[in-house]
Amino acid sequence: MTTISIDDIEALAVGAWILGTGGGGSPYLGLLNLRRLYAEGHRVHMMSPLDLADNDWVAVVSNMGAPLVGQERLADSRSIARAVRMQEEINSIKFRAVMSVEIGGGNGMQALMAAAHLGIPVVDADCMGRAFPEAQMTSVAIGDLKPYPCTLYDPRGIEAVVTKVPSWKWMERASRKICVEMGSIASTSKAPRTGREVKDWGIHFTTTKAIAIGRAVDAANRSHQDPIAAVLDCEGGQRLFTGKIVDVERRTTEGFLRGSAVVEGSDDDRGTQLKLSFQNEWIVAWRGDEAIAMSPDLICVLDSVNGHGIGTETVRYGQRVTVIALPAPAVLTSARGLDFVGPRAFGYDLDFRSLFAPPGAV
Amino acid sequence: MKRIGIDVGGTNTDAVLIADDKVVHSVKAATTADVTSGILAALKALRDNPAAAVPVDAVVIGTTHFINAVVQRRHLQRIGAVRIGMPASASLPPFCDWPADLGALVSGETFMLEGGHDYDGRPFMPLDIDGLKAAARAIKAKGLRSVAVASSFSPLDPSCENIAREIFAEICPDVAVTLSHDLGRIGLLERENAALLNAALHDLAVTTVAAFRKAIADSGIDAPLFLTQNDGTVMQAEIATAFPVMSFASGATNSMRGAAYLSGLDDAMVVDVGGTTSDIGQLRHGFPREANAVVEVGGVRTLFRMPDLLSIGLGGGSHVDENPVRVGPVSVGYRLTSDALVFGGHQLTATDIAVAAGLIDIGDRARVAHLPKHLIGAALADAHRKLEGDIDRMKTEAGDVPLLAVGGGAFLVPERLAGISEIVRVPHGDCANAVGAAIAQVSGEADQVFRDMTRDEAIAATRGIAEDRAVQAGAARETLKTVDVEDMPIAYLPGNALRVRVRVAGAIAAPDIGAAA
């Protein structure tokens, strides 16, 4: 068990935004909540998933909804804590710890916000190792673990539970409807997991990883080194392309933000273009007709100057960016994993080809 | 159309007269602590030229006065802050992300009330009218004279903020009220921050604009007064009094707009080389390209429309180090005319190098005759290398583009740079900022979320609102042009929800048509 420092949290906000691969919303408001909680004397502790007992209960939290709504209804740490309490009440259980469904974006901060109020540690793990747009795009869905119940909370005192569904897809559909009625934002606590399940199907040490990435970027910026090289060194990633955003096209289909961004090359990539397709998150990078990187490998678009993440909602014409790829957690690149998060899960008729050597046995 | 443009900068107050699209005369005077006498001196110098002593249609002033007040923590007042939108967002109250010193200086009392809206226009909670009345009474009792109100999704539905204004007008009519929807877009925290800063500058805005008016009246000029705002367009003085934050970035913007006007180029890179820094930006359709990211003012996050500028420590007053040879970033600043070698001082500056190289002829050339050729060459090469690299960083297209070189230190820009098709220098380039003020346009902006509309319909509807706002702000409707359109579908929302932002700008209407907003 370690105590997470406020410096760790500042670094986590930077690292989680990079691991968000364009989606998940900026972690800034979560960071503000945690600065305040720490100023009030709260501290968050973090435990290894390996230290969980098999019969411990672990809460899995996420703030669900549209990033734009999150800019007007600001993240409140008490809301996510209440969603967790609802799970304890309806299941008559006590949670040992709490984890985020996704480390990427604003949800990377939600588990810490809940933990500060609940007085339980966060688990150094998540269910994506990045961010994805849909509820069934998780390691626990790939593991075919029970998808219900899910609690949803709105600070006006609206509390909802999706009691039972036949599949993770149905959980996505039913909970999304409730979320939209609540104003397209809801604090949610997903199906509780046992310690055994987290050990078997959680993606481990991703909070530590996000903090390390954030620290590397900050250190590089402070010493005027290349922050992008720092991210690549940290994660064994590859630099794909450097240039300027010259076109952004977005459309809403089936309730998601889909579209593409075109990067025109500079430096070594001068005279060429890279096209990025997205569904909330960056999904495929194209050089002409050739897909050179694709989900579940992480495609991250970073500010070329400070190395910070750039979201698919905020990417804009003229931004100077560096596109990098980072290796995906092994569970996502397994045959069953690719059914959930491979290019075909996003409608691209592509066989997954990783940029990275197959990861060794975990 | 005859207009006087004035730029009140940190060092100089510049004034120009533009008549029938030509610069008639331009002058520089020293900025003074009281602002007024500097403007008076500049106007007197300007109108000492008989060609410039003519009746004018408008006076337009650009100033860094208000942003300096925030940065330097001076002349700010204590305010009331009203947040509407409880019970959401409760853990992040007003001032929550301000630097502690600034928050302590400005924060009077905070009220968090129920009300506000959702993204689709549904009320979030019924507005707490009794709470607003109690807040107004408390603000009155505390003697606060200015208040900022921010309600959730007020850019879509401002009714909660408007009701708050009515209640304050009834209970404490002397209190100035800033409503966040007048200042910002979606993004409650950043919009609220803009409103809080604006409220804190209220008294300063009243006295400063009054000083501007007095200087103009004392000069015997009878013409309406405008102030320039961040995006290179103007607002009427009455509006500037109510919204001082809108002028925050007007200095840099004016110099880029002035450069565009003087050269006739609408799409170009611009470098404004001053005494201490060079500001590099890009003109698109005659306006500065705006910054992508959140802009911090005095440590406070805002979403102001600010030009995307890269400031580097290179100017006419930059120190030149000899071993290794390096120009800047330290500068003699306003002491150039006493500290530089050519002016009898003892500090080797970029200006001395330029005089020795024969690029300019100011001061006493004999005092730099001893400088070795290799030092002159190496110093100029260092300045050129810095400019070349940073201008390329700011470019957003691969081909060669023209570069406008303006400002008092523009002699440091060489005749040829990689990635630049030509270096354009213009007469009156040293007063480009005052020219930019004189030629500033009037703009209007709208930012709305639509559902179940085609993209074209939504953009047309938004443009109509923006045009009405521009006309209300004093623009001539027939001259309005769209300068920015941005549309963004909203993830997860049903009904093909689309957020559209449109900005239009046009010429100032003839004085008798300009309607007060």
Interval B349-356 mean pLDDT: 94
* Percentage, residues of chain A above pLDDT 90: 79
Residue matched to tokens 């800019």? A71
- For residues A196 and B2, the model is more confident at A196
Interval B132-157 mean pLDDT: 95
Q: A66 and B119 in contact by Cβ < 8 A? A: yes
* Structure-derived torsion over alpha carbons of residues A80, A81, A83, A89, reported in degrees to the nearest 10: 180
- Please state the pTM of the whole predicted model: 0.85
Residue matched to tokens 């002349």? B75
- Residues A266-283 pLDDT 10s: 878 888 999 999 988 999
What pLDDT score was predicted for residue A362? 41
Interval A284-303 mean pLDDT: 96
Long-range contacts of residues B331-339, Cβ cutoff 8 Å, at least 24 apart: B331/B275, B331/B276, B331/B277, B332/B275, B333/B11, B333/B275, B333/B276, B334/B11, B334/B275, B336/B275
Interval B47-58 mean pLDDT: 90
What pLDDT score was predicted for residue B396? 64
Confidence of residue B10 (pLDDT cuts 50, 70, 90): low
Pairing assessment for the beta strands B233-236 and B441-450 based on DSSP bridges: parallel
Lowest mean pLDDT, pick from A43-57, A139-153, B302-316: B302-316
Q: A68 and B85 in contact by Cβ < 8 A? A: no
CB atoms within 10 A of CB A304: 21
Q: Is the ipTM of this complex over 0.85?
A: yes
Chain B residues in contact with A320 by the CB 8 A cut-off are 393
By the 8 A CB rule, do B277 and B295 touch?
no
- Residues A79-115 pLDDT 10s: 999 999 999 999 999 999 999 999 999 999 999 999 9
Rounded to a whole number, what is the distance in Å from the CA of B242 to chain A's nearest CA?
25
Give the list of residues 6+ apart from residue B469 with CB closer than 8 angstroms, or none.
B444, B445, B446
Chain B residues in contact with A246 by the CB 8 A cut-off are 396-397
Helix axes A6-19, A206-222, angle to 10 degrees: 100
For residue B93, give the nearest of B107, B73, B76 by alpha carbon.
B107
Q: What is the mean pLDDT of chain B?
A: 88
Chain B residues in contact with A36 by the CB 8 A cut-off are 91-92, 96
Helix axes A6-19, A107-118, angle to 10 degrees: 150
Residue matched to tokens 């190792």? A129
Residue matched to tokens 């075109």? A262
Chain B residues in contact with A75 by the CB 8 A cut-off are 91-92
Residue B395, pLDDT above cutoff 90: no
Rounded to a whole number, what is the distance in Å from the CA of B128 to chain A's nearest CA?
14
* CB-closest option in B92, B119, B397 to A68: B119
- Residues B416-441 pLDDT 10s: 888 899 999 998 888 898 999 998 88
- For residues B318 and B303, the model is more confident at B318
Distance from C-alpha of B176 to C-alpha of B194, rounded to nearest angstrom: 15
* CB-closest option in B90, B492, B493 to A76: B90
In A, minimum Cα distance to B188 occurs at: A72
What pLDDT score was predicted for residue A361? 40
Burial of B357 (0-12, 13-18, 19+ CB in 10 A): middle
Residue A314, pLDDT above cutoff 90: no
Chain A residues in contact with B118 by the CB 8 A cut-off are 69, 183-184
- Which amino acid, one-letter code, is at A310? I
* CB-closest option in A29, A250, A280 to B92: A29
Distance from C-alpha of B98 to C-alpha of A190, rounded to nearest angstrom: 34
Residue B55, pLDDT above cutoff 60: yes
Chain A residues in contact with B91 by the CB 8 A cut-off are 33, 36, 74-78
What pLDDT score was predicted for residue B516? 37
Q: B492 and A65 in contact by Cβ < 8 A? A: yes
- Residues B221-251 pLDDT 10s: 999 899 998 877 888 888 899 999 988 878 7
